[in-house]
Structure 1
Amino acid sequence: MSTRRKFLSSLSAAALALCSLGLGASHAQAAYPEKPVTLLVPYSAGGPTDLIARQLAQGLGELWGQSVVVENRTGASGIVALSALNRAAPDGYTLGIMVTPVTAIAPLTQKDFRLDVTKDFTAITDLVDYALVLLAGPQAQASTLKELIDRAKADPQAISYGSSGIGGTNHLAGEIFSRAAGAPMLHVPYKGNAPAISDAMGGQISFVFAQTDAAIGLADSGKFTALAITSGERNPAVPNIPTLAEQGLDVRVEGWTGVMGPAGMPAEIVKTLEDSIAKVKDTPAFKEKMESLGFVITPTSSEAFTQRVQEERDFWKKKIEDENIPLQ
């Protein structure tokens, strides 16, 4: 074979190899996800965050034709799951279903927590917003919000409320409500909201703040009186429950549930996740499930969600300091 032929043959082989490499890289990039994806949940199975995660996992699994696994990592008010997410590889195969109390409030209660939720994680997209309903039990002896406040003002020992624990959204809602009403109310922390609800039902404490998913059934049970909701507007799932603002109190306590990943995730994977999750959120199955639980689906982008995570953290830090709310 002549030198010229050898040169052309080598050139052709090199070109084919480069083309093959290019196609291979393109295929690899387009293949995400090519193996199971894990969703870390900071709370126990059966709770609202877990239910949202499982509905999302089902939708993504159907969309991708790939397994999406929910893994519950409980402990330290959600910090266990948040820390595990931070340690995960930023390849899109380990994600976290995070909520306001975990990213904005728990770091304030955990002295050894050194991560920055705005720098050490990737905010991918919001899923839903939630609000709380003030449920008064028999001990409250109140059928309206005014009656509850008047009784608390008349007797500083009369009214108490339970929460899922110090630093939980419903604890902070109670503290802010008490201060806005100008009425003393005793906070009783529990290990989870279920025992607090049980004691309010049994008359050991006066009231609880419960998320809409639990409040819908409890309000209809006849064992509680729903006095107010903490959202800015009435919730379509419980349209007869007035907001606190409607009743003269400048109190609004809402939270979000969203998807986050480790820091340093490739932009193309974040975009794939953002687009895929948006498609799931728009399906009848996801919409019906969320709306039945009183959650409000929030359309957003990674950029907007990143800003919201930071604003929420800054808001609660300032609110807790301004109101002098104890977190220990």
Structure 2
Amino acid sequence: MKFLKSLPIVLGLLAMPVAVQAQDAAAYPERPVKVIVPFPPGGATDIVGREISDRLARALGQPFVVENRSGASGNIGMEAAARAAPDGYTLVVGAPQTLTINPQLFKSNPFNPQKELDPIVVVATVPNVLIVNPKLPISSVKDLISYSKARPGKVNYGSSSIGGTPHLSSELFKSMTGTDIMHIPYRGSSPALTDLMGGQIDIMFDNLPAALPHIKSGRVKALAVTTKQRSDAAPELPTMDEAGVPGFESQGWFSLLAPAGTPPAILEKINAEVNKILATDTFKERLANVGAQPKGGSIADFRELLNTETQRWSEVIRFADIKVE
């Protein structure tokens, strides 16, 4: 009898954490939220991160303040987020490199992003685009292949960092075309693009949002996109498959995550708000203008993508024998 009398109290105590979480989520956010971008300003990760942060600030009534913390191929910013308090007031913008590629390349990493960060939502996907210095005598992918084969080891390519999808796209291109092109890694997309326009490097793959303004201005020449379908932002560009490299495919995507242990109710609230934002015509148009497409979906969808992408890039890394010392 005593047990039965105390049962409602026990059940009430068990339910308290859920009730507290619901209250926290209802009031969230009550102060500014920091959004870490683990790469320098100007790249695609930064562009998409700032766009969604701005919309979340408008929707939720508190600033979502972007902080660029670059270095170590994105690992510095990702680790800073993983070590932050799991209260919803630190988020991080994730990408294939930082979530599915780096853990396979940096064996001595002191943290595992897929275990120490909670996924929230995939915001957008973007194709990579193959671009060249406009002064080179190259107008197509086939031209580039011929030009490179005539100069083995003399043509170089830049990348935003070691292990990013632009880097792996370049290595996949080399493997599929039999070309010998030298890699010059940079700390971010913006400095690599600057050197491409200045003629210090010859070619590079980059996420379309970062490259698109320079393509439109004529400061770089675009040859093809890396997705199966042409991009709505640049429909005149062929796919790599159409341009003469059958079966070539890669893309980038950008997401939001929080430190592991962040209350699920807060994660679900952010997920729901982002999905609402992605459904608006104004945000769709804004993403299209920078070469991206809205993604969205549930937290479970994001977890499934992480598993799929980890396997995809594992095969490319082994195929290209990419190592990080």
Q: TM-score band (shorter)? A: 0.7 to 0.9
What stretches of structure 1 move > 4 A for 4+ residues in a row?
24-29
Judged with a 3 Å threshold, the aligned counterparts in structure 2 of structure 1 residues 94 and 152 are, in CA distance, closer, same or farther, namely same
Of the three residues 77, 86, 95, the one matched with 2:82 is 86
How far is the alpha carbon of 1:78 from its aligned partner? Answer: 1.3
Tell me how far apart the structure 2 counterparts of residues 313 and 106 of structure 1 sit (CA, whole Å).
10
Tell me how far apart the structure 1 counterparts of residues 28 and 220 of structure 2 sit (CA, whole Å).
48
- Give the aligned partner of residue 263 of structure 2: 266
Of the three residues 22, 47, 54, the one matched with 2:50 is 54
Equivalent residues in 2 for 1:1-328, closer than 5 Å: 25=20, 27-138=23-134, 140-249=136-245, 250-328=247-325
SS in 1 for 2:224: strand
How far is the alpha carbon of 1:27 from its aligned partner? Answer: 4.4
SS in 1 for 2:65: strand
How far is the alpha carbon of 1:187 from its aligned partner? Answer: 1.7
Greater Rg by CA: 1
How far is the alpha carbon of 1:175 from its aligned partner? Answer: 0.9
Task: In structure 1, give the amino acid aligned to 2:251.
Answer: E
Deviations 1:233-266 (A, max 9, x none): 1000000100111123221111110011122233
Tell me how far apart the structure 1 counterparts of residues 60 and 198 of structure 2 sit (CA, whole Å).
47
- Give the aligned partner of residue 8 of structure 1: none
Residue-pair matches, total: 309
Contact 1:124 1:306 in 2 (8 A): no
Task: In structure 2, give the amino acid aligned to 1:300.
Answer: G
Judged with a 3 Å threshold, the aligned counterparts in structure 2 of structure 1 residues 53 and 281 are, in CA distance, closer, same or farther, namely same
Q: Bigger CA drift: 203-212 or 191-200?
A: 191-200
How far is the alpha carbon of 1:192 from its aligned partner? Answer: 3.1
Identical positions, percent: 36
Contact 1:138 1:206 in 2 (8 A): no
How far is the alpha carbon of 1:293 from its aligned partner? Answer: 0.3
Task: In structure 1, give the amino acid aligned to 2:52.
Answer: L
Gaps of 5+ in 1: 1-17
Q: Bigger CA drift: 251-260 or 68-77?
A: 68-77
Contact 1:139 1:205 in 2 (8 A): no
Judged with a 3 Å threshold, the aligned counterparts in structure 2 of structure 1 residues 193 and 64 are, in CA distance, closer, same or farther, namely closer
How far is the alpha carbon of 1:202 from its aligned partner? Answer: 3.5
Deviations 1:112-141 (A, max 9, x none): 214333322211100001121111224542
Judged with a 3 Å threshold, the aligned counterparts in structure 2 of structure 1 residues 47 and 149 are, in CA distance, closer, same or farther, namely closer
Task: In structure 1, give the amino acid aligned to 2:273.
Answer: S
SS in 2 for 1:245: coil
Judged with a 3 Å threshold, the aligned counterparts in structure 2 of structure 1 residues 121 and 67 are, in CA distance, closer, same or farther, namely same
SS in 1 for 2:261: coil
Gaps of 5+ in 2: 1-12
How far is the alpha carbon of 1:171 from its aligned partner? Answer: 1.7
Judged with a 3 Å threshold, the aligned counterparts in structure 2 of structure 1 residues 157 and 31 are, in CA distance, closer, same or farther, namely closer
Q: Bigger CA drift: 218-227 or 228-237?
A: 218-227
Deviations 1:264-318 (A, max 9, x none): 2332222211111111222344222211100111131100101112221232123
Task: In structure 2, give the amino acid aligned to 1:152.
Answer: S
Judged with a 3 Å threshold, the aligned counterparts in structure 2 of structure 1 residues 310 and 200 are, in CA distance, closer, same or farther, namely same
SS in 2 for 1:178: helix
RMSD: 2.5
Q: Bigger CA drift: 240-249 or 187-196?
A: 187-196
Contact 1:138 1:200 in 2 (8 A): no
Tell me how far apart the structure 1 counterparts of residues 43 and 201 of structure 2 sit (CA, whole Å).
22
How far is the alpha carbon of 1:165 from its aligned partner? Answer: 3.0
Task: In structure 2, give the amino acid aligned to 1:61.
Answer: A
Task: In structure 2, give the amino acid aligned to 1:51.
Answer: I
